[in-house]
Amino acid sequence: MSRKYFGTDGIRGTVGQAPITPDFVLRLAHAVGRVLKRTEDRPTVLIGKDTRISGYMLESALESGFNSAGVDVVLLGPLPTPGVAYLTRALRASLGVVISASHNAYPDNGIKFFSAQGTKLTDAWEQAVEDALEEPAVWADSASLGKARRLDDAAGRYIEFCKSSFASDLTLKGLKIVVDAAHGAAYQIAPLVFHELGAEVIAIGCAPDGLNINHEVGATHPEALVRAVKANHADYGVALDGDADRLQVVDRAGRLYNGDELLYLMAAERLDHQPAEGPLAGVAGTLMTNMAVEVALKARGLQFVRAKVGDRYVLEELEKNRWILGGEGSGHLLALDKHTTGDGLISALQVLQACVRSGRTLAQLLEAVTLFPQTLINVRLHPGQDWKANALLASETAAVEAELGAAGRVLIRASGTEPLLRVMVEARDEAQAQACAQRLVDAIKAG
């Protein structure tokens, strides 16, 4: 199935350009409403958003589109993406809708959807919506129009849900934590979650103006967090992205820990209290997950599988294997025993819980993981160049893999958006990784 509008994470683009225009978004909501009404007489949809100025316009368009199809709407206001997923499930709604472009800058925005169970929807569902978009609108008559109301305590409900994921016998008292919400959806919620669990909180990136989301703050720009942790002599720093489903953590020394390391820590903390079997028998990463994490997890008796890049594909692997833990180096982390989707706040609490319970620092807990140096080189392909048929590249790749053995890894993949080939080599020695990557690049250029 070839989809015209839906990408790997909903529909996203530049505001004012198709498809992120108010007329299309109204039609989209109307089409979604008609799909919902095939199986439910009076559906109810929740709508949450991040802090982009365009959220007001798109929220109004969605509300009108749903109401025109006879669907009731509950407006949540600014709320993290995982908060919308939680409330959709908790309130037994038919669908959750998020207006956000995640870690993108403010000129972009997007629409993504959650099922009644708080999970991402299937390709087949998205195709049904695209098919409905091609059909003429069927406007509900006045008596059948949907209604809209606002849920005033949405933030409070989600705060309590986040806190419930932290062990009830533990507290964050005595810890000073810098919280960076990227001027995004968690700007009010994130500081309160850590404060109510006992921490002293220093908030940065918590003053949105509609135009500054993700601007030089948050998980995609952790330099601001590192500076704030050092300046305030804090114990930890937590950075989220614009819709708060991504996480980066900094310790007292200003060292930044990425999603690969945090994924290992979450798995190791659970292994300290339960055997490596059933839901905890394995962990899912991606093609880009650092090999050191794979080695460390296997040393603890865990299986490890790699999915395509994207938290959607990590989730597919977890569901297939009936495991609970997975994630990406970018900080999208999944703990399916805590939530149905990736949640930056809940992941941060899992990390802090491991530190508090053990009485050890992040550096101490991650002594078993020394990330392998990775060299990544992008090579521009000529028009019509078939890199898969390059015999020199094939033989050079085999030679590099033989040289690295079990102490390294080669990954060559085409970009999905540009005529580029991405060459990544991982090895225990940085100079070796760079030399091997250059050999592969030379083979590509000569082929």
Assign a CATH topology to domain 157-255: Alpha-D-Glucose-1,6-Bisphosphate; Chain A, domain 3 (3.40.120)
Mean pLDDT of the chain: 96
* pLDDT tens for each residue of 248-292: 999 999 999 999 999 999 999 999 988 889 999 999 999 999 999
* pLDDT tens for each residue of 331-389: 999 999 999 999 999 999 999 999 999 999 999 999 989 999 999 999 999 888 899 99
Strands (DSSP E) along 287-348, which ranges?
303-307, 325-327, 333-335
At the top level of CATH, the class of 11-152 is alpha beta
Pick from 180-184, 224-228, 411-415: least confident: 411-415
Residue pair 248/222 in contact by the 8 Å Cβ criterion: yes
Q: Which residues have a Cβ under 8 Å from the Cβ of 340 and sit 6 or more positions away?
A: 85, 86, 89, 117, 118, 119
- In the chain, the percentage of residues whose pLDDT exceeds 70 is 99
The residue with greater pLDDT, 123 or 26, is: 26
Closest to 430 (Cα-Cα) out of 382, 365, 376, 356: 376
Task: Give the start-to-end residue ranges of the domains of the chain.
Answer: 11-152, 157-255, 259-365, 374-446
Amino acid of residue 433: A
The residue with greater pLDDT, 419 or 17, is: 17
* pLDDT tens for each residue of 3-12: 899 987 899 9
- Quick check: bond before 222 cis, omega within 30? no
Specify the pLDDT at position 417: 67
Q: Which residues have a Cβ under 8 Å from the Cβ of 265 and sit 6 or more positions away?
A: 351, 354, 362, 365, 366
Amino acid of residue 133: L
Q: Superfamily for 374-446?
A: Alpha-D-phosphohexomutase, C-terminal domain (3.30.310.50)
In the predicted structure, residue 1 carries a pLDDT above the cut 70: no
User: Vertex 419, ends 416 and 424: CA angle to 5°?
Assistant: 70
Specify the pLDDT at position 383: 87
The rounded distance, in Å, linking the Cα atoms of 87 and 158 is 7
Q: How many other C-beta atoms lie within 10 A of the C-beta of residue 9?
A: 18
Verify whether residue 102 is a known catalytic residue. Answer: yes
Task: Identify the DSSP state of 50.
Answer: -
Alpha-helix residue ranges (DSSP H) falling in 69-153:
81-90, 123-133
Residue pair 327/334 in contact by the 8 Å Cβ criterion: yes
* pLDDT tens for each residue of 59-113: 999 999 999 999 999 999 999 999 999 999 999 999 999 999 999 999 999 999 9
* pLDDT tens for each residue of 378-428: 999 988 889 999 999 999 999 999 999 989 999 999 886 678 899 999 999
Rg over alpha carbons for the chain, rounded to the nearest Å, is 23
From 102, 165, 330, 347, the catalytic residue:
102
Closest to 101 (Cα-Cα) out of 305, 222, 234, 243: 243
Upper half-sphere CA count for residue 319 (Cβ side, 13 Å): 10
Amino acid of residue 123: D
Closest to 111 (Cα-Cα) out of 40, 24, 185, 42: 24
The rounded distance, in Å, linking the Cα atoms of 107 and 381 is 30
Averaged pLDDT, 152-173: 98
In the predicted structure, residue 447 carries a pLDDT above the cut 90: no
Specify the pLDDT at position 8: 79
Amino acid of residue 329: G
Residue 275: φ, ψ to 5°: -75, 160
The rounded distance, in Å, linking the Cα atoms of 313 and 407 is 26
Pick from 45-49, 142-146, 302-306, 366-370: least confident: 366-370
Confidence of residue 310 (pLDDT cuts 50, 70, 90): confident
Specify the pLDDT at position 250: 98
The rounded distance, in Å, linking the Cα atoms of 341 and 85 is 7
Strands (DSSP E) along 274-407, which ranges?
282-286, 303-307, 325-327, 333-335, 374-380
| Residue 398: C-alpha distances to residues 35, 288, 372, 394, 409 (Å) | 50, 19, 20, 6, 11
CATH number of 259-365: 3.40.120.10
Residue pair 194/179 in contact by the 8 Å Cβ criterion: yes
Task: Identify the DSSP state of 120.
Answer: B
156, two tokens: 């409070």
Q: For strands 108-114 and 176-180, give the pairing.
A: unpaired
Q: Examine domains 259-365 and 374-446 and report if their fold is the same.
A: no
DSSP codes joined into one string, 166-178? S-TT---TT-EEE
Rounded to the nearest 10°, the torsion over CA 317, 334, 74, 157 is 150
| Residue 399: C-alpha distances to residues 62, 106, 179, 394, 443 (Å) | 55, 46, 47, 9, 12
Residue pair 182/214 in contact by the 8 Å Cβ criterion: yes
Q: For strands 148-150 and 72-78, give the pairing.
A: parallel
301, two tokens: 């008796």
Specify the pLDDT at position 118: 96
Q: Could you tell me how far CA 119 lies from the centroid of its own chain?
A: 13
Alpha-helix residue ranges (DSSP H) falling in 322-381:
344-358, 362-365
Residue 249, beta-bridge partner list: 238, 257
